[in-house]
Amino acid sequence: MTQAGPVSSALAIDLVTDGRTWERWKVRVGVGSCLSLWARGIPDGCEYSQIFVLLDAAALPAVFVEEVERGGLKQVNAMIPSGFDAGPVMIRLQCDTEISEPAAIELIR
């Protein structure tokens, strides 16, 4: 289930980077595209199957979720399927039924 719950005051995205270049707030699209984000409010023990990165209308399943918080943040990685165009998009994080406020990122080639 995705995009099912209310916006959460506890769940928040602090940073988004390209999963390969680590460029902040910009993610390359194309074959093997991956994003990494760091978020607050992900409960310990939350299953991968409960965590999605919402990229505009697409729900991308998490492929990695950091088990232990570092400075209050957990890293979440998701693969971006081919077919996304370059340009600005909104990104949100969903954990179970809670959804973070959106953050703006740029998809680049």
Task: For residue 101, give its domain range.
Answer: 12-108
Structurally, the chain folds into a number of domains equal to 1
Instruction: Write out pLDDT tens, residues 30-67.
Output: 999 999 999 999 988 888 899 999 999 899 999 999 98
pLDDT over threshold 80, residue 24: yes
This prediction's pTM: 0.91
Residue 52 placed within a domain: yes
What CATH number is given to the structural domain containing 30?
2.60.40.10
Residue 1 placed within a domain: no
The pLDDT of residue 23 is: 98
pLDDT over threshold 70, residue 4: no
Residue 81 placed within a domain: yes
Rounded to 5°, the CA angle 108-56-60 comes to 85
Please state the rounded mean pLDDT for residues 76-88. 96
3-state secondary structure 87-102: EEEEEEEEECCEECCC
> Residue 8 — pLDDT band, cuts 50, 70, 90?
confident
Residue 6 placed within a domain: no
Residue 71 placed within a domain: yes
